[in-house]
């Protein structure tokens, strides 16, 4: 069973969701939320390590969910439909949208359609890189290297679709208010995707119920956010308002829906409890703090698709690349070792077969020799005697062959045949040409080999010139 963990480190709470997967089936097995008030980064990392140890969490993948109130989101219309051109345009103008340098931010975008002029409509998320690095560092210090970073708003939208899919159609727009402890995520979406999101700096942290003051401020900001959507995107009225969050946010239930419906002149529904949380059969869901919204993180923990806005931290990308290269090298090395062992196995197998065959022949030879009554031994002795006699006749054979090939112009003065039957022959000739002729006769006789001429020297003998020579050769045996 494979286990992955999704973590959200917010301003007030640490949230964890654990998912197990077996084949293509994935299910949430645990969730947890804990207050982070007055804790340093080191203490948060230590707390995560303690949670992992106590709950025996050894995840194969860690997903970081970035809280919506840390992220700047804009809706843009760009005069292109080519993804590369759109990416270049965003890089060119992104510093005009936020007061940061390009190297200080991470951004992600998703195309959500086209407008009446054929421009691409897209949603762009921008986050400060230091904030992401801080959260990644906290998790790495706890022993959890991060694999993926995603915006929480997509999890909230997915949670709405999962909980209320039967009440949504493919043409209408909907408002979702995800009320958390520190903020409220205002979302306008359709059944097919998220279209607009704004972080409202009003939450329910530390209050038992939503009072009139909070409601007044909240719905005032919701009206303002709705006006912004009409101005920036499309003047189409949403069909329904959905409200979800922790127990504090939905404790009023019907009263909260009635107020929202009266204030915005559209149907409203309070999602009393996250469906994913209801599916947990352990006390972690029951003990959840009342002001914490878990819908987004629970849904993101189950999603393997690419519909969300994901941020890519350069350090993580480098580590992933190195990890993939290492995995490829390990696979290549394993295959090389396997092939080497296979070849060695084949080679050793053939040697073993030959050894076995030789052993079988030797055994057969021994049995046949035993049956023949020592005949093979007698044959060996006879062969040895024949060899010995043949070698004894070899010097006479050499003399016979030399006699056949020597001419009257050649005089032999020295002949030596050593134990290895190497022949050393010295003599004189009337002319150098006679020596060469004699050498040709020896080479062409076919009974001698490895002929070498050691020297040929001319000298005067009385009133004549003669040529001394020395030859080395051996008989062909």
Q: What is the pLDDT of residues 123-142, one digit of tens each?
A: 999 999 999 999 999 999 99
DSSP state of 469: E
Computed over every residue of the chain, the mean pLDDT equals 85
Average of pLDDT values for 345-374?
Answer: 83
Q: Give the confidence band of 285 by pLDDT, cuts at 50, 70, 90.
A: very low
Q: Degrees (nearest 5) of the Cα angle 391, 396, 397? A: 75
The maximal CA–CA distance of the chain, rounded, in angstroms, is 150
What is the CA angle 424-430-431, rounded to 5? 90
CA–CA distance, 97 with 320 (Å, rounded to integer): 30
Looking at the structure, give the CATH architecture of the domain made up of residues 385-475. 2-Layer Sandwich (3.30)
Q: Considering just the CA atoms, what is the radius of gyration of the chain in Å?
A: 48
Q: Which residue has the tokens 């940061």?
A: 100
Between the two ends of the chain, the Cα-to-Cα distance in Å is: 78
Select the more confidently predicted residue: 277 or 422: 422
For the chain, give every domain's residue range.
2-312, 317-371, 385-475
Rounded to an integer, the average pLDDT of 448-455 is 88
From residue 411, how far is each of 46, 396, 439, 457 by CA, in Å?
Answer: 109, 19, 14, 14
Domain 2-312 has CATH 3.30.420.380: yes
Per-residue b or e along 287-307, where b marks 16 or more CB atoms closer than 10 Å to that residue's CB: ebbbbbbbbbbbbbbbbeeee
**Structure confidence by residue, pLDDT tens digits, 145-190:** 998 899 999 989 998 998 888 899 988 999 999 988 889 999 999 9
Are 410 and 442 a contacting pair, CB within 8 Å?
Answer: no
Query: Residue 330's pLDDT band (boundaries 50, 70, 90)?
Result: very high
* pLDDT number for residue 43: 92
Cα separation of 302 and 21, whole Å? 9
Helix (H) or strand (E) holding 364: helix 314-371
Choose among 407, 393, 415: nearest CA to 436: 407
Taking only the tens place, the pLDDT of each residue in 247-279 is 766 665 456 777 778 778 888 888 866 656 655
Our CA angle for 45, 48, 54, nearest 5°, is: 140
Burial of 474 (0-12, 13-18, 19+ CB in 10 A): middle
Residue 211: per-residue pLDDT: 73
| Predicted local distance difference test score (pLDDT) of residue 71 | 94
What is the Cα–Cα distance from 129 to 66, expressed in whole angstroms?
Answer: 12
DSSP 79: S
Helices (H), 55-207: 83-97, 129-141, 152-164
- Please, which residues have CB within 8 angstroms of residue 379's CB and are 6 or more apart in sequence? none
The answer to whether 4 and 19 are in contact (CB under 8 A) is yes
125 with 72: CB under 8 angstroms?
yes
Angle at 297 between CA 295 and CA 299, to 5 degrees: 65
Which of 122, 125, 123 lies closest to 79, judged by CA? Answer: 122
Alpha-carbon span 296 to 154, nearest angstrom? 7
pLDDT in tens, 398-416: 888 888 888 888 888 888 8
User: Within the chain, how many helices (H) and strands (E) appear?
Assistant: 13, 18
**What is the rounded CA–CA span in Å between residue 158 and residue 164?**
10
Let me know: does 178 contact 57? Beta carbons within 8 Å: no
Distance (Å, rounded) from C-alpha 314 to C-alpha 306? 19
What's the pTM? Answer: 0.68
Residues 6+ apart with CB under 8 A from 299: 155, 156, 158, 159, 162, 276
Alpha-carbon gap, residue 46 to 33, rounded angstroms: 15
């Amino acid at each position: 069973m494979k286990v992955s963990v999704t973590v959200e480190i917010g301003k007030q709470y640490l949230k964890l969701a654990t998912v197990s997967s077996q084949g293509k089936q994935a299910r949430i097995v645990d969730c947890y939320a804990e207050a982070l008030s007055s804790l340093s980064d080191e203490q948060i990392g230590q707390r995560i390590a303690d949670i992992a140890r106590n709950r025996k969490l050894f995840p194969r993948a860690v997903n970081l969910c970035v809280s919506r109130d840390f992220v700047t989101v804009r809706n843009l219309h760009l005069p292109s439909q080519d993804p590369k051109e759109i990416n270049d345009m965003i890089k060119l103008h992104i510093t005009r949208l936020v007061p940061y340098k390009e190297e200080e931010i991470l951004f992600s975008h998703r195309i959500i359609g086209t407008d009446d002029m054929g421009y691409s409509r897209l949603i762009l998320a921008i986050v400060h890189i230091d904030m992401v690095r801080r959260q990644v560092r906290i998790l790495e210090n706890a022993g959890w290297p991060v694999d993926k970073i995603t915006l929480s708003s997509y999890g909230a939208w997915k949670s709405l679709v999962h909980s209320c899919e039967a009440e949504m159609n493919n043409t209408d727009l909907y408002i979702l208010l995800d009320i958390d402890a520190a903020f409220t995520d205002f979302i306008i979406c359709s059944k097919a995707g998220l279209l607009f999101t704004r972080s409202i700096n009003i939450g329910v942290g530390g209050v038992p119920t939503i009072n009139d003051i909070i409601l007044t401020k909240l719905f005032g900001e919701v009206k303002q956010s709705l006006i912004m959507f009409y101005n920036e995107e499309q003047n189409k009225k949403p069909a329904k308002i959905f409200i979800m969050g922790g127990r504090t946010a939905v404790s009023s239930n019907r009263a909260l829906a009635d107020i929202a419906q009266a204030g915005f002149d559209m149907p409203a529904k309070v999602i009393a409890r996250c469906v994913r949380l209801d599916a947990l059969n352990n006390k972690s869901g029951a003990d959840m703090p009342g002001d914490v919204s878990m819908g987004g993180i629970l849904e993101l923990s189950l999603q393997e698709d690419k519909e969300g806005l994901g941020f890519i931290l350069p350090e993580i990308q480098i580590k992933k690349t190195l990890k993939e290269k290492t995995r490829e090298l390990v696979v290549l090395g394993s295959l090389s070792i396997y092939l080497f062992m296979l070849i060695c196995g084949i080679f050793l197998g053939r040697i073993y077969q030959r050894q076995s065959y030789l052993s079988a022949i030797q055994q057969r030879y021994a049995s046949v020799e035993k049956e023949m009554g020592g005949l093979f031994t007698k044959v060996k002795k006879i062969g040895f005697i024949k060899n010995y006699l043949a070698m004894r006749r070899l010097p006479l054979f050499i003399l016979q062959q030399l006699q056949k090939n020597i001419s009257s112009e050649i005089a032999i003065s020295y002949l030596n045949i050593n134990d290895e039957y190497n022949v050393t022959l010295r003599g004189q000739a009337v002319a150098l040409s006679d020596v060469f002729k004699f050498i040709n006769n020896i080479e062409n006789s076919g009974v001698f080999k490895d002929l070498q001429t050691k020297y040929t020297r001319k000298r005067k003998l009385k009133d004549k010139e003669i040529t001394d020579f020395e030859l080395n050769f051996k008989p062909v045996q």
